[in-house]
Structure 1
């Protein structure tokens, strides 16, 4: 009887979710072409570069002040650690509490792979991410760490829950295709990123998938990601938007009705909208390259890409190169900075 009732709720929920999400739409803002005289263009370029210098200097000052605070702040929420401690033995049960994370690999692995290939080119045959170093923050049992290792990347998975790291190590050891490329440490992001630490400026990419909605300090997280990345390195985030729809689907439906994830897994107050996350990252030395919506179908257990970011979304950001010269007008990072300065001036 309970199974029948659950199936009935699941079908109703599926129809409700697709009905709500397909009615949402996104708008594309196009920039108008600006024509002006040569003298005006020269003045505008000069003002843009001046403003860009000011923004970069202010950003660097902000980062220096934040680094001082980083050692006294933490990304770790003790309540979240206790919650995931109880679930540590269930990471590799593909039909259990983490079933949705297993199927999310169908989207997040290609998303990470393709963006890194665009930035670095293809590696060895069959190992497209060879020679790249990736940090998987909040890796849990290694559900995302292992697939990235199979693509040839050297991946370090970190998590404050020691039992989860133990499960990840045992699982990786039994797979010869990943055990040489994957390492795990029970350590926090801020401990790894401390000045002079082994993680400072060492990674080509940082991955934080379904993590930021569980953190205690988002600002500390952004700062530490900047510290561990190489200039031009990539940051990949998947998380949940902060909307009424996300509360209805991610908490009420997923936790209380369908039991897709354990009750109490998510706190709506910790959800973050794409605009807020983009603003935070740009204030800590990143340029947000893309944001894409994701949609989960509880009937099929599959994910798909969507233009709608009102529930789940994926974000790719790039750490600005510190040695960027404002006189090099062909550098895409400079072009982005100049465009932002132009919009500010106007």
Structure 2
């Protein structure tokens, strides 16, 4: 019954622009005895209640501070406990991670096609990503690592939840051929970055994937900094996540958690959601150039994902680490250099 309700909601969303999406959510809230105004007020009260006293003062964007600030870890202990309790359920396609299994139909081609456009060279039949090294951050049980490995890439999946890595390794062991291209480590991204820095081997990966991860991290600045450390110049960063809008709050928290109870209460923290514009600004401050941002949509009725023009709920982002600037010729013209961080926000609908 609940999946039917949410499915009809999503079907309505698919056929509307952003303003139409808001209208559908408003109608659902109204039928549930909760007005759209009440939803927005509830979000505001929740936001104020959870905010620290210091944040009541004038707000300074966190990405303007150093990645080595008060919190230099990406791991939230509460998130760690939550995923620890779900570690043995990663490969249950009908369970809590069913939507992530379905998302492979969207995110794997998104990663593959962008990498093929960036690396134009001879390809092995059936293994178009052969020769590329990919880091899967927050790999969980390996739901995305394995498909990328089957495309020929050498994949390292990392996750701070030890039991999730154990699940990933156990599932991988059933495919001996894949074991040659995919491996897992129970560590954090910042630990990997520090190792690379100590070994002076920064920039070892052709691509980094962080799918449905950044909305669970404690510190996005550390995440962006660490990505820039372990990614090759010209390498790609792929992110899928949830936008920070009234609509995403209504659907991900009010509808999914509070009204329909199809997602366990506390799964999402709206404060950790990030908009495409904010994420782009953060990444560009750490040397990335955002190439594309595309809205995504999940339909629980059909159990499938699709692309959409609106990024108001969830979205996929592709960014590229800028190549190092050539040294200036001190004897020649040292006029103004182009700003490689400039990028239009017109793609953010």
Fold similarity call, TM over 0.5: yes
Q: 2:268 maps to what in 1? A: 266
338 and 17 in structure 1: CA distance in 2 versus 1, 3 angstrom threshold: closer
Asked if the contact 2:287–2:341 (Cα under 8 Å) also holds between the matched residues in 1, the reply is no
Change (3 A) 1:253 1:325: farther
Is 2:4 the partner of 1:11?
A: yes
Q: What SS does structure 2 have at the residue aligned with 1:337?
A: coil
Q: Please tell me whether residue 157 in structure 1 is matched to residue 157 in structure 2.
A: yes
Asked if residue 89 in structure 1 is aligned to residue 88 in structure 2, the reply is yes
Residue 24 of structure 1 pairs with residue 17 of structure 2: yes
Kept in 2, the 8 Å contact 1:201–1:230? The answer is: yes
CA distance in 2, matches of 1:258, 1:162: 32
The residue matched to 1:109 in structure 2 has which SS?
Answer: helix
- Residue pair 1:103, 1:303 contacting (<8 A) in 2 also: yes
Aligned position for 2:146: 146
Q: How far apart in 2 are the matches of 1:19 and 1:324?
A: 51
The gaps in structure 1 that reach 5 residues or longer are 1-6, 27-62, 328-333, 342-346
CA 340–16 in structure 1, closer or farther in 2 if over 3 Å, else same = closer
Deviates further, 125-134 or 199-208:
199-208
Cα distance in 2 for partners of 1:283, 1:220 equals 12
Conservation of the 8 A alpha-carbon contact between 1:290 and 1:316 = yes
Q: Find the counterpart in structure 2 of residue 228 from structure 1.
A: 230
Change (3 A) 1:274 1:126: same
Deviation by residue 1:215-242 (Cα, 9 ceiling, x = unmatched)? 0000110000000000000000000001
Which residue of structure 2 lines up, in the alignment, with residue 166 of structure 1?
A: 166
Task: Report the TM-score, using the length of structure 2 for normalisation.
Answer: 0.77
CA contact (8 A) 2:10 2:298 kept: no
SS for the counterpart of 2:202 is coil
In structure 1, the residue matched to 2:43 is none
Report how far residue 335 of structure 1 moved. Answer: 7.2
Distance 1:288 1:153 in 2: 23
- How far did 1:71 drift? 10
Distance of 2:129 and 2:343 partners within structure 1: 32
CA gap of 1:199–1:256, structure 2 versus 1, over 3 A, is farther
What are the ranges of 5 or more consecutive residues in structure 2 without an aligned counterpart? 20-62, 330-336, 345-349
Residue aligning to 1:282: 284
Q: How many residues align?
A: 290
Shift of 1:201: 1.0
Structure 2 CA distance for aligned equivalents of residues 243 and 70 of structure 1: 27
Q: Distance in 1 between matches of 2:124 and 2:179?
A: 18
The equivalences for 1:37-48 within 5 A come to none
- Alignment partner of 1:190 is 2:190: yes
**TM-score, normalised to structure 1's length?**
0.78
Q: Offset of 1:268 from its aligned partner?
A: 0.8
Q: 1:12 Cα shift?
A: 2.9
Equivalent position of 2:340 in the other structure? 337
| Conserved? CA contact 2:289–2:341, under 8 Å | no
After TM superposition, where is structure 1 displaced by more than 4 Å over at least 4 residues in a row? 257-260, 324-327, 338-341
